[in-house]
């Protein structure tokens, strides 16, 4: 089997990333040489490749599903929103300036060549490439310069599997309406539909599926079940809403539990850092934005952010600065990660973020919880890292402009190449490392310290929590669902042969108004 397919969606968060991961895992388990590909991603959840490049977190997860290391080849264009109007552009893993919506509309034509070159190279190196679309395939206002959806399918001459999310409601209308919004040529690329996140009686849904197939001339190639325990490596911002727990609530080993308040910053990045904590039995992690939650939790976490200074101003506007300082005075546990770590310091010398907004360099007061001075440098640090945390070997990755130029605390850990890293105060821990909490033994040791500081005397860490094994287990569950509920033979035919040459076109009609 050789070829490629595009998994497109009717909406954002329809489940494209997970369908791609499941399909990749299914193929890889059968010995097929397969790679993922997303031409253009927009996400602040990213992962660092071995050569110091940066790609979307979902493509890192999909690479693991294929049995591959993350590579910039799998996501050649990454947009990282820094505000509502401007995004950082990462091309082939490297920073490539900032753009606004209007600028990017013009710039996409130049990026199309990058995307097509990378996809062609992958198709030469792998038997199958499973591509993921971006947002909705029916963003017709962007069609002229589209490089990720139907534009990619046309340029690469591949078929499209269209995914809709039934859990949101209206999936039949989404699928039919998406088809009707596409041009005739684009419609002919769509070879079949997948209904995702289904948790009802198939017999009730079936008449609607039959009508959809009749109206569109396209088969329904699968109805995938809602898998409520799939939560690791969440990418979309919709996966981190205020008040929602991160992961399932699992029984504690001891009689006490730990509550974790993860502050949901407006420009939150690499929110997956919190997932490792949520893997622990008896640890309840929740996204919050209110004083009461930050005050009462056993542990408060300031996570990473794409815009440290702007999100620090937001923290102050919500009154969370006082809540965090009161926690620190009472020696109640706080963890700061990357941008959140920078906020905890005394001073931020900002010569980067302020200039993006059209201003000059400025000095910003931090929260004053840690004795730090942070300076933003124009050159961005992007690198995988290894080191030692106490008695434990650890690994992670860094993505940041900030440098700690003055640190009045003992370091949290020792980086193998760059020496002391992070800070340890009185029940306050800070680090620039992402992925640090996914190191099982070190995370357990930290939670013991947190439980002691939080006076949870009967909290016990589980001896066998394995974040990596949990991630692999979820990939296998995705593949199991694909194998059981997707017409894999039909999908493989689309991969090798493309869409049927006789694919029909959906026409829309408007009923006359009653008179």
Active-site positions?
338, 434
In angstroms, the CA 484 to CA 507 distance is 33
**In Å, what is the CA distance from 166 to each residue of 150, 195, 229?**
22, 6, 17
Integer CA distances (angstroms), 222 to 26, 197, 349, in order: 15, 11, 53
Q: Which two tokens stand for residue 475?
A: 């990939």
The total of other beta-carbon atoms located within 10 Å of residue 432's CB is 27
| Degrees to nearest 5, angle at CA 169 with 168 and 171 | 105
- State the distance between the two ends of the chain, measured CA to CA, in whole angstroms: 58
Strands (E), 338-371: 347-350, 362-365
Inter-residue contact 4 to 129 (CB < 8 Å): yes
Give every CB contact of residue 473 below 8 A, 6+ residues apart in sequence.
Answer: none
C-alpha pair distances (Å), 298 with each of 189, 200, 345, 458: 53, 38, 21, 13
How far is Cα 27 from Cα 30, in angstroms, rounded to an integer? 5
Q: What is the token pair recorded at 244?
A: 């929602």
Q: Specify which residues 209 forms β-bridges with.
A: none
Measured CA to CA in angstroms, residue 210 lies from 162, 177, 198, 205, 219 at distances of 16, 16, 16, 9, 9
Is residue 466 classed as helix, strand or coil in its secondary structure?
coil
188 by Cβ neighbours in 10 Å (0-12 / 13-18 / 19+) ranks as buried
Q: Residue 123 and residue 79: Cα distance in Å, rounded?
A: 24
Taking the CB of residue 85, how many other CB atoms lie within 10 A of it?
11
In Å, how far are 81, 289, 454 from 52, measured between CA atoms?
20, 33, 37
Q: Are 234 and 58 in contact (CB under 8 A)?
A: no
Tell me how far apart the 2 most distant CA atoms of the chain are, in Å. Answer: 81
Rounded Cα distance between 70 and 476, Å, is: 18
C-alpha radius of gyration, the chain, whole number: 24
Coil, helix or strand at residue 410: strand
Q: What are 333's two structure tokens?
A: 């546990």
């Amino acid at each position: 089997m050789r070829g490629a397919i595009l998994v497109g969606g009717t909406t954002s968060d329809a489940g494209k990333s997970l369908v791609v991961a499941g399909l990749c895992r299914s193929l890889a388990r059968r010995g097929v040489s397969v790679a993922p590909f997303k031409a253009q991603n927009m996400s602040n959840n990213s992962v660092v490749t071995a050569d110091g490049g940066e790609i979307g977190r979902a493509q890192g997860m999909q690479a693991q599903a294929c049995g591959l290391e993350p590579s910039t080849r799998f996501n050649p264009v990454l947009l990282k929103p820094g505000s509502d109007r401007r995004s950082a552009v990462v091309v082939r893993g490297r920073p490539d300036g900032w753009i606004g919506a209007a600028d990017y509309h013009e710039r996409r034509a130049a990026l199309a060549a990058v995307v097509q070159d990378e996809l062609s190279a992958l198709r030469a190196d792998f038997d199958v490439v499973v591509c993921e679309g971006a947002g909705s395939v029916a963003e017709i206002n962007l069609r002229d310069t589209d490089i990720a959806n139907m534009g990619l399918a046309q340029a690469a001459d591949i078929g499209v599997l269209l995914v809709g999310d039934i859990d949101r409601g209206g999936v039949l209308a989404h699928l039919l309406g998406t088809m009707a919004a596409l041009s005739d040529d684009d419609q002919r690329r769509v070879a079949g539909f997948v209904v995702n996140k289904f948790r009802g009686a198939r017999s009730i849904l079936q008449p609607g599926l039959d009508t959809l197939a009749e109206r569109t001339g396209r088969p329904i190639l699968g109805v995938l079940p809602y898998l409520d325990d799939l939560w690791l490596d969440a990418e979309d911002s919709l996966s981190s809403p205020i008040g929602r727990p991160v992961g399932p609530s699992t029984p504690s080993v001891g009689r006490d539990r730990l509550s974790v308040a993860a502050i949901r910053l407006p420009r939150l990045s690499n929110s997956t850092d919190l997932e490792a904590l949520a893997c622990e039995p008896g640890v309840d992690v929740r996204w919050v934005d209110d004083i009461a939650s930050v005050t009462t939790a056993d542990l408060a976490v300031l996570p990473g952010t794409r815009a440290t200074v702007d999100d620090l101003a937001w923290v102050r506007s919500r009154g969370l600065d006082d809540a965090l300082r009161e926690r620190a005075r009472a020696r109640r546990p706080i963890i700061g990660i990357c941008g959140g770590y920078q906020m905890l310091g005394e001073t931020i010398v900002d010569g980067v973020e302020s200039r993006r907004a059209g201003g000059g360099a400025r000095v910003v007061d931090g929260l004053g919880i840690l004795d730090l001075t942070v300076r933003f440098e124009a050159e961005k640090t992007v690198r995988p890292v290894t080191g030692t945390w106490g008695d434990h070997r650890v690994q992670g990755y860094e993505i940041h402009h900030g440098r700690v130029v003055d640190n009045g605390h003992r370091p949290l850990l020792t980086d193998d190449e760059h020496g002391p890293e992070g800070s340890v105060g009185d029940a306050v821990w800070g680090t620039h490392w992402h992925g640090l909490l996914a190191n099982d033994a070190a995370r357990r040791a930290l939670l013991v310290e947190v439980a002691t500081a939080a006076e949870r005397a009967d909290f016990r860490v589980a001896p066998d929590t394995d974040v990596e094994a949990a991630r692999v287990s979820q990939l296998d569950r995705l593949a199991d669902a694909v194998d059981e509920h997707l017409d894999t033979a039909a999908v493989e035919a689309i991969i090798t042969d493309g869409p049927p040459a006789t694919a029909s076109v959906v026409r829309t009609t408007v009923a006359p108004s009653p008179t």
